Chain A
Amino acid sequence: MNKINQKIIIFSFIFFLLLGFLWLSYNERKQTQINNQWFLYFKNPTDANLDFVIENYTNSQNFTWQLIDNNRVTKKENVIILKNEIKNVIINSQNDKKGILKIKVIHHNSTKEIYKKF
């Protein structure tokens, strides 16, 4: 049974496994980077405030947002958001809100919208 060199086998095993672990850990870390996605959400999701946030993880920086008050565009602005940047957009809206107030954001070829119904 002892003809095989067990210590060399153990050291080789640990060495190979360590290399594998290092490589996998490094790969997992690389995979935690969000790529080619962007997100839109309300800063305060549970109250009437319409301030919103755009998180950009794409290479394209140009965003256009619109405030749509019951199908009518009441505000429209272009913003530049760098890659990996989070942009807060403040909306000064009146207190007596009615119907659907929608935030629509257009970026490159995609559109996203969030809304609150009153």
Chain B
Amino acid sequence: MAFLSEQLLFYFSIGIVLFMPGWFLVQFISNRKYSRTSKEPLFSSIEIFVISFGLSIVFIDFLMILMGKFGILLTRNNILFILMLLFAIFLFWKKTKYFKKSTKYKSTETINASTITIILILLLTILIKTAYLRNTIFPTSTDLGHHMYWSKQISETGKLPVYEKIKIVTDNNAYKLTSPQPISDFIIGEHLIFSAINMISGIPFVSYFPTLILFLINMMSILALFILTLRLFPKNNKVAIITLLLIGPLWALSSPQAKFVSGGVIGNLLGNLFIPLCLYFYYRAFNEKKSVFLTLALFLTMGMFYTHHLSGLIFLFVVAFTLLFLFLFFIKEIIINKKNVLSFEIVNNYFKLFFSKSNIFFLIFAISFLLFVYTPAYLINDATKTVVGTPSKSTRAGLSFTQFKYAVGEPRLALGVLGLFIISFLSVFKKNKNDFLKYSILFGWATSLTLMTIKPGWLHINLPSGRIANYVNFPFIIIGSFAFVWLVRFFKKNKYSYLSPKVVSLFYLSIFTFIFSAGFYDNSQTLKSKSNNQKALETFLSSKYLNQHLDEKKHIVIKDHNYLKADGWIKLFFMKDYNIPLSRSYFKRYNDPTKQREKCTLWMISEPNSDRGKKCYNDIGVSFAIINQKIDDSQFKKSKMWKIFSGDNIAIYYNK
């Protein structure tokens, strides 16, 4: 019964936090004058569903930031009160003269083969991901633990988090802990929605809920790509359906899909939701010349920069490359086709698009918000400098072509490259200038990410190439799907009817076999055989025990990251500081020539009896060490420390 009520609260909180605010916004926009007069609805049902989700995330982020900055405690009651107030305003608005009943559009929707295919693809996608997540649903991943520390801090204090942590430094030949120092690794948008869900549902952080929210974000990003493709290729559903197939059940588990869900890579998953949604709105704004879409695009872009700076930076490159290709297309129009693409009418249209009331209002809001309400930590700490420049490590110097091929997926890359050739051909020889924008977006998206992944030095960026590679498959999937559908139509044309139908069928069959075998092989390689929850439960039990005996003022804890399961979650039991417990990091990190790191955390576990190990304990005042006793017990046995806890794997030592 408790499980059932918990579940109901969980779905209620998802609905009220992650769908309702965005749905209100969509309803409001859809009721505007220009929308009511158009021949077809502004958004289709799937678009409303996906857009509501994306807008809600940004809306909730800004709402909670505003609440925090205006001194309103972030509690369940306060958040619910404001959301209910919004609901009341919405109902009131529907009764006023400003609300016009929406036009009844004649529905042409039918349950046809395409509908059933899409449903089956979605079913298969959810089935495969669920099967994988069954063994990873128990919270163990380090990244998720790190993020949930900040979300829990928000929930516990009711205030916006201050991204700081203590550090070990050397001062006059003595080691000491600093006061909390600012850190730029985290961005507030990654944490607020989890706090809101936790506060409203009451489900603890160390549970299934963070992973399920990430699963939802991942599935919505798949649908975001689907609606973007539907808009880019409105005359042919097949391109969007093939896109759904290539992003859904095939390669469903590898990065950045279900593996990122279980791994808690929040920023990347949200980035993969926001990038297609932003492109969707920018495309519609410029294609349909509707400024409200530009406002929504700017709103989502701003939300992305308050959520994940890497995604934001990648998006800037996508936009820059899109503009470059658009410029080349315009030049081609002027020089080759002798068209006046910069007539007064066109310039006037763009002026109206940019300088509409909604855009100006939003830009004032955005600048005020950035300057006076909340500036992301990475801007305050000037962390942007660290991502610009010559690659500082081999992992930032770009992937090899083989690595790139596996990051995209071999068949997806092959189809994508073919698609790029087809798009180039169509751009040069086809006269329809309405297609330039979409071709520029697709070309800009694919080439910018390819260069950022393979040749980051050319673009002067200094970021882990493997992380950028997680974004690269989206444009190649859309372009590849377009290529596939284009090829099918190409062969169907009468003038190629000399080809035997058997040969054409064999061609399709071989492509599908190639795609399916590669996609499902990738899935099979990622599936985990069993859960590691028992070791994680031991970590949690020992952490709870230690927390009961911790003196907040006196006791500092160290733990090992190499041999403990779910150790990234220990800090959620203490909630003292992001860096408490101190951690013996991966051994290779202590030998990184590009980044000098303190070694006390290494010595305190690897050699607690050595002079330097003892000095670290004494100088810093570390009282407890959590270790894997199967690996590290021998050196602690020789020390003067007390062994106070013993499990199957974990031992806790007390330094008196």
Contacts and interface: CB of A to CB of B under 8 A. Distances in A.
A24 B109 contact: no
Interface in A63-105: none
B590 interface: no
B341 interface: no
Nearest to A36: B534
A5 B110 contact: yes
A39 B534 contact: no
Interface string A28-43: 1101101111111110
A8 B645 contact: no
A44 B551 CA distance: 13
Contact of A46 (B110, B230, B533, B654): B654
Contact of A112 (B109, B134, B223, B646): B646
A16 B122 contact: yes
A34 B533 CA distance: 9
Nearest to A105: B646
The secondary structure that dominates the B interface is: helix
Contacts of B545: 41
Chain A interface size, as a band, is 35 or more
Chain B interface size, as a band, is 35 or more
A6 B115 CA distance: 8
Nearest to A102: B643
A12 to B, nearest CB: 5
B642 A13 contact: no
Nearest to B41: A2
Given A20-B129, A24-B137, A45-B644, A5 B115 contact: yes
Interface in B635-649: 640-648
Interface stretch (B43-51, B87-95, B180-188, B372-380): B43-51
The secondary structure that dominates the A interface is: mixed
Contacts of B285: none
Interface in B106-161: 107-112, 114-115, 118-119, 122-123, 126-127, 129-130, 133-134, 137-138
Interface string B221-256: 001000000100010010000000000000000000
Interface in B604-656: 623, 640-648, 652, 654, 656
- The listed residue with most A CB atoms (<10 A of its CB), out of B44, B45, B133, is B45
A2 B108 contact: yes
B479 to A, nearest CB: 20
A24 B212 contact: yes
Contacts of B114: 3-4
A31 B137 contact: yes
Given A22-B7, A40-B645, A46-B654, A35 B549 contact: no
Nearest to A20: B130
Contacts of B237: 1, 3-4
B81 interface: no
A2 B107 contact: yes
- The listed residue with most B CB atoms (<10 A of its CB), out of A4, A5, A45, A113, is A4
Contacts of B644: 41-42, 45, 114, 116
A17 B115 contact: no
B642 A45 contact: yes
Contact of B538 (A37, A110, A113): A37
Nearest to B129: A20
A38 to B, nearest CB: 8
- The listed residue with most B CB atoms (<10 A of its CB), out of A1, A16, A36, is A1
B208 A114 contact: no
A3 B46 CA distance: 13
A93 B44 CA distance: 77
B646 A31 contact: no
A9 B138 contact: no
A51 to B, nearest CB: 12
A108 interface: no
Contacts of B109: 2-7
A16 B126 contact: yes
B531 interface: yes
A59 interface: no
A117 to B, nearest CB: 6
Interface string B57-98: 000000000000000000000000000000000000000000
Given A6-B46, A12-B122, 12 more contacts: A3-B114, A13-B119, A17-B216, A17-B219, A24-B208, A24-B212, A26-B3, A31-B531, A37-B538, A41-B645, A41-B646, A45-B644
13 contacts: A1-B44, A6-B44, A12-B123, A16-B126, A22-B7, A24-B212, A36-B534, A41-B646, A45-B645, A45-B652, A46-B656, A110-B648, A115-B643
The 9 closest A-B pairs by CB, nearest first: A28-B208, A45-B644, A6-B45, A20-B130, A41-B645, A112-B646, A31-B533, A5-B109, A28-B137
